[in-house]
Amino acid sequence: MTEHTLTVAGVAVDTRHWIGGRRVASAETFTDVSPIDGSVIGEISRGTALEAAAAVAAAKAAFPAWAATSRAERARILHAVADGVEKRIEELSIVETTDNGALLRSHRRGVMPRVAHNFRFFADWLLKLEHEDFETRGHTNHVSWDPAGPSVLITPWNAPLMLATWKVAPALAAGNTVVLKPAEWSPLTASLLADIAAEAGLPAGVFNVVQGYGSEIGDALTSHPDVRRISFTGSVPTARRIAESAAGNLTPLSLELGGKSPLLVFADADLDVAVDLAVEQYDNAGQVCLAATRFLVEESVAEEFTRRFVEKAATLTQGDPRHETTDIGPNIHPRQLEKIDAFVQRALAAGARAVVGGHRKDIQYYAPTLLTDVAQDSEIVQEEVFGPVLTLQTFSTEEEAVRLANDTRFGLAATLATADAERAERVTAQLVAGTVWVNCFFVRDLQAPFGGSRHSGVGREGGTWSFDFYCDVKNTVTAPNGWKNHG
């Protein structure tokens, strides 16, 4: 072990940046803390504008060769990265659980296998990416996807590696080079990914990782004239700053900015299904951008729905996320927990009633909470809390349900519980959302478009939509009979 290596649950993690195929240390560090118990994990290299510029320069230098690499070879290397992830699922799982507090069993069974799948899916999609040629007055149109260039990817802390590779995999598949800036509250698995990518044969400079505070290195990355694409997942205020920074170079952006999504429960719904869907919104301690945090329940079944929800929520176990029986772990950071509690206390002071929870359990854990008696224009209904805090309102007509569902500045997702197929079709057609689930939740396919409306984001990624973003899409028009016969 060296001074730049941490041992996290028996796993060695390098704390330095990964730039141009080598480890680079910074003069200063920042402290990484585990949300499980508040213990210090270690000191991480704290990037500056110098490291940001070096990473972009490395990505720019590596771009021509990687862009010229055949689709088949790029796909082969991405599959090798997936192989490396699968070999280290246990290590990646325990490190990420230590770093961000999400359930270890979820990492083992779902999240880290999905990380590998991200690479495999986009590798395979690359090989079949095509648009059928078409004719215009006898001329042939041919659509192609050209690599755009160095891409800056800025990722959140709630599912660090899965959400990072959701961007990294298509960007690399497209032939772009990448600078990944992971969230400072959960940087460790990005460092491990750099090791895995290098072992898989990804050429130096194609994938770079720069750690640190967005306020210190973000502008250096997003305003850089050599950056050709920026993809960000996070808050609306940060997205505004990124957009302003990128505007000078007209750098294309993909922004996924969270939401305040509704769960609509109609009287004809299977209430057992509806309650299961509702309790599922506590997943990852409520730190899920897609979570349906606003329950809109038809008046005639609201009392029964609430009773069943309270009973079901009482069966959840909150505690150490490394334990197999734990259902809800800690929130990511004391600052986030303070923010959550401030939302709840302001709501209670304004007249809301806590049917479940309504308080912090200790410095790391917030009690699962359900608030009723909330006004549509109240802060707790309109603003994203990003914690285990849900609200419940009632409606009397389908029209009212749709109006309440759409009455926020967000539009990321919506969930609908009903036994009436015609109603489901009518309502989903009217909902402002990038994704709508009917009698289910969190069913995601990588070939589907993903993104939000309104303040929930700009653009769509997934399947061909990812390549449309990470590439310069070109149309070549060829005249008929324009060739000389060279015999």
Within 10 Å of residue 196's Cβ, how many Cβ atoms? 23
Q: What angle do CA 248, 251, 252 make, to 5 degrees?
A: 140
Cβ contact 232:204 at 8 Å: no
Active site residues: 256, 289
